[in-house]
Amino acid sequence: MSLKAMRSRGSGSLLSAVLLVAALALPVVAGACFLCCRTDAFLSLLIGRSDMEWAREAERDNSTGHESAEGVVATGSGFSVVGQTNSRQPGIQHAWVLHFGHAPPPLWERTYGGPGMLGASGHAITALPRGGLVVAGTARGTGGGFWGWLVALSPGGDVLWERTPGEEGAHGFHAVSVLEDGSVVAGGSQDRVGWVVRVDSRGKLLWDVKLPQLERVTALVSLPAQRVAVLGTAETSTTGLGISRLMLLDSSGWASWQKQLPVEGKGELAALAPLPEGGFVATGRLSRPDSSDWSLWVVRMDPRGEILWEHVPEDPQVEAGRAITVLPDGGIVVAGFSWKEVLVDREAKVWRFSAEGSLLWEKFYGGARNDMGEGIAHLADDSLVVVGSTLSKGAGKTDVWTFGLSPEGDLLWEETFGAP
pLDDT tens digits for range 256-293: 999 999 988 899 999 999 999 899 999 999 997 777 78
Is pLDDT of 26 > 70? no
What mean pLDDT is predicted for residues 52-71?
82
- In order of 124, 143, 193, the CA distances from 170 in angstroms are 18, 12, 10
Percent of the chain past pLDDT 70, that is, above it, reads: 86
CA distance 248 to 252: 11
Q: Specify the pLDDT at position 6.
A: 37
- Domain layout of the chain by residue ranges: 8-60, 63-417
DSSP secondary structure of 24-77: HHHHHHHHHH-TTS-HHHHHHHHH-HHHHHHHHHHHHHHTSS-EEEEEEEEETT
What mean pLDDT is predicted for residues 214-219?
98
One-letter amino acid for residue 78 of the chain: G
For residue 34, what pLDDT band results from cuts at 50, 70 and 90? very low
For residue 340, what pLDDT band results from cuts at 50, 70 and 90? confident
CATH of span 63-417: 2.120.10.30
For residue 62, what pLDDT band results from cuts at 50, 70 and 90? confident
Helix axes 39-47, 8-33, angle to 10 degrees: 140
Q: Specify the pLDDT at position 1.
A: 41
Where does residue 366 fall: left (phi above 0), alpha (psi -120 to 50 degrees), or beta otherwise? left
Q: Specify the pLDDT at position 177.
A: 98
Q: Specify the pLDDT at position 3.
A: 39
The DSSP symbol for 211 reads E
Could you check whether the bond before residue 155 is cis, i.e. omega within 30 degrees of 0?
Answer: no
From 32-46, 190-204, 239-253, 386-400, the region with the lowest mean pLDDT: 32-46
Q: Order the strands of the 106-112 sheet from edge to edge.
A: 67-75, 78-89, 92-100, 106-112
* pTM of the full structure: 0.86
For residue 53, what pLDDT band results from cuts at 50, 70 and 90? confident
Yes or no: say if 375 and 81 are a contact pair by the CB < 8 Å rule.
Answer: yes
Is pLDDT of 81 > 70? yes
Q: Which residues of 262-291 are buried (b: 16+ CB within 10 A; e: fewer)?
A: beebbbbbbbbbbbeeebbbbbbbbbbeee
Yes or no: say if 326 and 341 are a contact pair by the CB < 8 Å rule.
Answer: no
- Identify the three-state secondary structure at position 257: strand
What mean pLDDT is predicted for residues 112-128?
94
Mean pLDDT, the chain, integer? 88
Q: Specify the pLDDT at position 27.
A: 39
Is pLDDT of 121 > 90? yes
Q: Specify the pLDDT at position 49.
A: 56
Q: Specify the pLDDT at position 386.
A: 98
Q: What is the pLDDT of residues 164-194, one digit of tens each?
A: 999 899 999 999 999 999 999 999 999 999 9
Q: Specify the pLDDT at position 326.
A: 98
The residues that bridge with 108 in the sheet, in sequence order, are: 99
Q: What is the pLDDT of residues 102-115, one digit of tens each?
A: 999 999 999 999 77
